[in-house]
Amino acid sequence: MALTELFEKDVMELERDGILFSSLGKLVAWGRSKSLWPATFGLACCAIEMMQSTNPRNDMARYGSEVFRASPRQADVMIVAGRLSKKMAPVMRRVYEQMPDPKWVISMGACASSGGMFNNYAIVQNVDSVVPVDVYVPGCPPRPESLLYAVLQLQKKVQGKAFDQQGVELPMVEGWHRP
């Protein structure tokens, strides 16, 4: 970045001729964010809305999530769609560990984010206690448009362009340093 400030005029000339400047980190982040392939982890009602977000009306594929990979080894993002029961929690942890770095998690719906309307012995009250969550999506179930917005927010987070509520820029998430 400092380099382009020094050579501002030359950079503008070169860009007019079709040569773009970036850093490797930004390019890689751009590539990663524009092709986030989700792993199928639909649990309950939110899974139906997740399926609906791939239908022609709300098309998630145009944002890069071309296919939902069944095998976690080929997926980038895990969309936890639905209520996570305590019996399923170790299974989810194992699926998360099978995903290669960098990986992200979207917690879709009220039940995944906070236990939702099920405050009882059977449901994990926040998926964050099992896997680290990047984006929470409220709703019961969230509309497909909400899920698409969440995917776009995740893309911004991956690129390092995400801001929190106070307007402070959030650090870019690098997948391989996460626990």
Strand partners, 123: 85
d(CA 126, CA 108): 11
| Least CB distance to another protein at residue 39 (A) | 8
Residue 59 three-state SS: coil
Work out whether the CA dihedral 147, 82, 52, 60 comes out positive or negative.
positive
Q: Please, which residue, 89 or 152, has the CB nearer to another protein?
A: 89
Q: How far is CA 5 from CA 26, 99, 105, in A?
A: 17, 39, 36
Cis upstream peptide for 179 (omega within 30°):
no
Which residues of this protein are in contact with another protein, per CB under 8 A? 40-45, 47-49, 51-52, 55-57, 68, 70, 72, 82-83, 85-88, 90-95, 97, 115, 117-123, 125, 131-132, 140-141, 143, 179
Q: Please, which residue, 47 or 150, has the CB nearer to another protein?
A: 47
Q: Please, which residue, 28 or 44, has the CB nearer to another protein?
A: 44
| Least CB distance to another protein at residue 17 (A) | 43
| Least CB distance to another protein at residue 34 (A) | 23
| Least CB distance to another protein at residue 9 (A) | 48
Q: Please, which residue, 12 or 122, has the CB nearer to another protein?
A: 122
* Exposed / middle / buried, residue 11 (Cβ in 10 Å: 0-12, 13-18, 19+): middle
